[in-house]
Amino acid sequence: MTPARAGFVPQVLLIPAIVGLALLVLPLAALVARVDWPTLWADVSSPEALSALLLSLGTGAVATTACVLVGVPLALVIARSGPRLAAVLRAVVTVPLVLPPMVGGVALLFLFGRTSWLGGVLGEWGLRIPFTTTAVVLAQTFVALPFLVLALEGSLRTTGTGYEQAAAALGAGRWTILGRVTLPLASPGLVAGIVLCFARAIGEFGATALFAGNSPGVTQTMPLAIYTAFNGAGVSQGTAVALALLLLVTAIAVLLLVRAWRPGSPR
């Protein structure tokens, strides 16, 4: 049955909801108010800005894909394991969230650096990860993965295993069940997870700065460009604000497109 759209949310709750929305929107309005309109176009259309934007979008997309590839299995494993194991796994997954990104960057540097065992092995194969675009993707994946996993896991648990059983009872194999039942039913969580993941990857700064460095065209993503512009003593902060807006508008556009890919919820 089509439910009454509004559901049964007490109407008083509109007030805190609006407060919450204001908290999120007003700072942005304040930011936009400071935009230096005359130089805005020049700032956002500079080749550096565009190359940083492209790099951000590209690495963000790759990192999100990587997160989906390893994060969806991880979420499935956590959602379908017993309460003890699930609690431990969830705690492990939460770690990169708690860690200030900068420390995460140091940790990645320690792991993949030349002096580490792994870095040494990779180095012998002629692979060096720090200062490359790969490092950017790795750093973004590291910080963004937990979002995908935790959001999806919540939805998977809410959905339960009833429909999976029904599908199995109809003779569907595990992969069919996964692709046709489990993931579509958990799609609100999956979409939320992908959005969180992509947004976090795009906005990632600290870990990238330390692990990948700040080389224009190779590792200088938008946040690094913004930070550089902000820190630049000679440069006005207008550039930083302009770049931030550019990043914002692009990211929102991408996310709206992603949502449009599957507009309805399954129920």
Ligand X SMILES: Nc1ncnc2c1ncn2[C@@H]1O[C@H](COP(=O)(O)OP(=O)(O)OP(=O)(O)O)[C@@H](O)[C@H]1O
Within residues 99-158, the interface with other proteins by CB under 8 A covers 106, 109-110, 113-115, 119, 123, 128, 130-131
Smallest gap from Cβ 234 to other proteins, in A, equals 4
Q: Which of ligand X, a second copy, other proteins, none does residue 16 bind to, with CB < 5 to 8 Å depending on kind?
A: a second copy
Question: Quick one: which of 235, 249, 252, 253 contacts other proteins (CB under 8 A)?
Answer: 235
Rounded CA separation 193/64 (Å): 10
Within residues 165-224, the interface with other proteins by CB under 8 A covers 165-174, 176, 180-181, 184-185, 187, 209-210, 212-217, 219-220, 224
Binding mask 179-218 for ligand X (x = CB under 6 A): ----------------------------------------
Is there binding between residue 194 and a second copy (CB under 8 A)? no
Binding mask 24-43 for a second copy (x = CB under 8 A): xxxxxxxx-xx---------
Q: Which of ligand X, a second copy, other proteins, none does residue 169 bind to, with CB < 5 to 8 Å depending on kind?
A: other proteins
Smallest gap from Cβ 66 to other proteins, in A, equals 22
Smallest gap from Cβ 252 to other proteins, in A, equals 25
When the beta carbons of 2 and 265 are compared against ligand X, the nearer one is: 2
Is there binding between residue 230 and a second copy (CB under 8 A)? yes
> Residue 164 in contact with residue 182, Cβ under 8 Å?
yes
**Per residue, what are the HEC states of the chain?**
CCCCCCCCCCHHHHHHHHHHHHHHHHHHHHHHHCCCHHHHHHHHHCHHHHHHHHHHHHHHHHHHHHHHHHHHHHHHHHHCCCHHHHHHHHHHHHHHHHCCHHHHHHHHHHHHCCCCHHHHHHHHCCCCCCCCHHHHHHHHHHHHHHHHHHHHHHHHHHHCCHHHHHHHHCCCCHHHHHHHHHHHHCHHHHHHHHHHHHHHHHHCCHHHHHHCCCCCCCCCCHHHHHHHHHHCCCCCHHHHHHHHHHHHHHHHHHHHHHHHCCCCCCC
Question: Quick one: which of 42, 73, 121, 180 contacts a second copy (CB under 8 A)?
Answer: 73
Residue 69 burial by Cβ neighbours in a 10 Å radius (0-12, 13-18, 19+): exposed
Within residues 2-21, the interface with ligand X by CB under 6 A covers 2
Rounded CA separation 56/206 (Å): 14
Smallest gap from Cβ 42 to a second copy, in A, equals 19
Site for other proteins, rule CB under 8 A: 1-4, 48, 106, 109-110, 113-115, 119, 123, 128, 130-131, 162-163, 165-174, 176, 180-181, 184-185, 187, 209-210, 212-217, 219-220, 224, 227-237, 266-267
